[in-house]
């Protein structure tokens, strides 16, 4: 059976790595980029995503590149600690929460995909049925027939657009900027966040650097065409206005590597996870996109990818549609629940007005932030 995966990201590479191990199907991955390049951000990885690395025999490589995150702290705009969550309970129950760069995660997944499976520089445009097969048109005019298409082409999925048209995005009104700051900025095992009005600052430890994320309302967001210095200067100005103590944090505005990276804070949800008579599966952000607020999008793409590879490994040409249908049933409720949690958390983390921020900060003194991530915790009890 011919399986074409669109997108060599977290989800697509997981399917390719696991399916090509069984050798049953003819698997091709189409990736629009010319190759893998350095991504300017890190990932908080839950055990439910990390376990995929064990399944592909790369668990030790992942752990070598990651740090174990032991504490999660939320602070107010004055820098005062509102709550500190000891993550050792999570660790004991399910496994470690890791901090690892996206670049390292992708490169390890890539190492588990046999040579020749990924075709770089191939941008998929649309899909339609042609007899019993899915016919895909590429940007270069080429067409390709497959029994199953896995659309793993991310938040801006062209395949989703060709199937469902433009899907209304879920907007937060904020832009997030990320960069690498020196390790001395914070403790190496502690995620620290500062929730202020019109200013969110997050510090996420990785092996070599601290991944800084600063989110501000779109109208205050710097011009992405500016230099790194100009972007940081504008962000510092915004944060200083709303959370002056946080803006004064030593080393916060020092770039240790790369340059600031912009991520508009929105997500999407496709009307369905399957299409064209269950011959197309929308995997990861292409089907259910994630805000980075709960740090769970990558884990979902990895875990859903593993579940899809498992179902497809049980099927042939005649039973593949049933496999895709089963997969969709298994994952849909879980990924929707996790996406809802991420959206809920975004409402608490990114608020514009001082009065709303003060209320949330008061709430944070008494309500554990994990109360807003119930579905994520529960999903660790429910293997796909």
Among residues 3, 4, 19, 41, the one that binds ligand FAD under rule CB under 6 A: 41
For residues 8 and 29, the answer to whether their CB atoms sit within 8 Å is yes
Residue of this chain nearest to ligand FAD (CB atom): 9
Among 194, 200, 290, 384, binds ligand FAD (CB under 6 A): 290
Q: How many positions of this chain bind ligand FAD (CB under 6 A)?
A: 33
Interface segment toward ligand FAD; rule CB under 6 A; list 286-294, 306-314, 340-348, 360-368: 286-294
Task: For residue 119, give every residue at least 6 positions away whose Cβ sits within 8 Å of its Cβ, in sequence order, or none.
Answer: 28, 29, 30, 31
Among 279, 284, 345, 346, binds ligand FAD (CB under 6 A): 284
State the minimum distance, in angstroms, from the CB of residue 191 to ligand FAD.
Answer: 9
User: DSSP code of 238?
Assistant: H
Site for ligand FAD in 155-184 (CB under 6 A): 158, 178
138 to 157: interface string for ligand FAD, x by CB under 6 A: --------------xxx---
Tell me if 11 contacts ligand FAD by CB under 6 A. Answer: yes
Find the binder of ligand FAD among 44, 77, 202, 222 (CB under 6 A).
44
Q: Does 217 bind ligand FAD (CB under 6 A)?
A: no
Return the number of the residue (6 or 317) whose C-beta is nearest ligand FAD.
6
Which range touches ligand FAD (CB under 6 A), out of 76-84, 110-118, 244-252, 296-304?
A: 296-304
Contact residues for 380 (Cβ-Cβ < 8 A; gap 6+): 46, 47, 48, 93, 94
Give the span between the Cα atoms of 360 and 345, in whole angstroms.
11
236-254: b (≥16 Cβ within 10 Å) or e: eebbeebbebbbebeebbe
Give the max Cα distance, the chain.
64
Distance of alpha carbon 64 from alpha carbon 330, whole angstroms? 32
Dist. CA 245–CA 80, nearest whole Å: 9
Q: Which of 3, 12, 27, 345 binds ligand FAD (CB under 6 A)?
A: 12
Determine if 8 is a binding residue for ligand FAD (CB under 6 A).
yes
Contacts of 116 (CB under 8 A, 6+ apart): none
Helices (H), the chain: 10-22, 47-55, 59-65, 88-93, 102-111, 158-164, 228-242, 244-247, 297-313, 320-349, 354-366, 374-379
72 binds ligand FAD (CB under 6 A): no
By beta-carbon proximity to ligand FAD, the closer residue of 50 and 220 is 50
**Binding to ligand FAD by residue 301, rule CB under 6 A?**
yes
For 217, residues 6+ apart whose C-beta sits below 8 A from its C-beta are 173, 174, 175, 198, 352
By CB under 6 A, name the binding residues for ligand FAD: 6-12, 30-33, 41, 43-44, 123-124, 152-154, 158, 178, 263, 284-286, 290, 292, 295-299, 301
């Amino acid at each position: 059976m011919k399986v074409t995966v669109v997108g060599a990201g977290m989800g697509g590479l997981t399917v390719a790595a696991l399916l090509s191990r069984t050798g049953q199907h003819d698997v091709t991955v189409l990736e629009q980029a010319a190759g893998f390049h350095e991504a300017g951000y890190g990932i908080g990885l839950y055990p439910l995503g990390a376990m995929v690395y064990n399944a592909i025999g790369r668990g030790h490589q992942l752990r070598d590149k990651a740090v174990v995150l032991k504490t999660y702290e939320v602070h107010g705009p004055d820098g005062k600690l509102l709550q500190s969550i000891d993550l050792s309970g999570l660790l004991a129950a399910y496994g470690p929460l890791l901090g690892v760069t996206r670049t390292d995660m992708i490169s390890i997944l890539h190492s588990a995909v046999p040579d020749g499976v990924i075709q770089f520089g191939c941008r998929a445009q649309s899909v339609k049925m042609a007899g019993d097969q899915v016919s895909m048109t590429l940007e270069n005019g080429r067409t390709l027939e497959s029994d199953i298409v896995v659309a793993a082409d991310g938040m801006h999925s062209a395949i989703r657009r060709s199937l469902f048209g433009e899907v209304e995005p879920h907007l937060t009104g904020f832009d997030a900027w990320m960069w690498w700051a020196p390790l001395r900025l914070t403790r190496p095992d502690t995620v620290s966040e500062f929730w202020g009005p019109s200013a969110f600052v997050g510090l996420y430890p990785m092996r070599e650097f601290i991944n800084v994320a600063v989110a501000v309302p779109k109208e205050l967001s710097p011009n992405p065409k500016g230099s790194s210095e100009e972007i940081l200067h504008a962000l510092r100005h915004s944060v200083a206005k709303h959370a002056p103590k946080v803006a004064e944090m030593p080393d916060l505005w020092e770039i240790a590597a790369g340059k600031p990276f912009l991520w508009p804070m929105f997500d999407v949800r496709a009307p369905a996870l399957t299409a064209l008579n269950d011959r197309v599966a929308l995997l990861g952000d292409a089907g259910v996109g994630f805000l980075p607020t709960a740090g769970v999008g990558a884990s979902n793409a990895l875990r859903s990818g593993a579940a899809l590879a498992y179902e497809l490994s049980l099927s042939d040409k005649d039973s593949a549609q049933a496999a895709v249908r089963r997969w969709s049933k298994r994952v849909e409720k879980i990924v929707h629940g996790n996406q809802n949690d991420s959206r809920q958390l975004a409402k608490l983390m990114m608020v514009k007005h001082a009065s709303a921020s003060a209320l949330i900060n008061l709430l944070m003194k008494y309500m554990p932030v994990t109360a807003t991530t119930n579905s994520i915790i529960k999903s660790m009890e429910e293997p796909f």
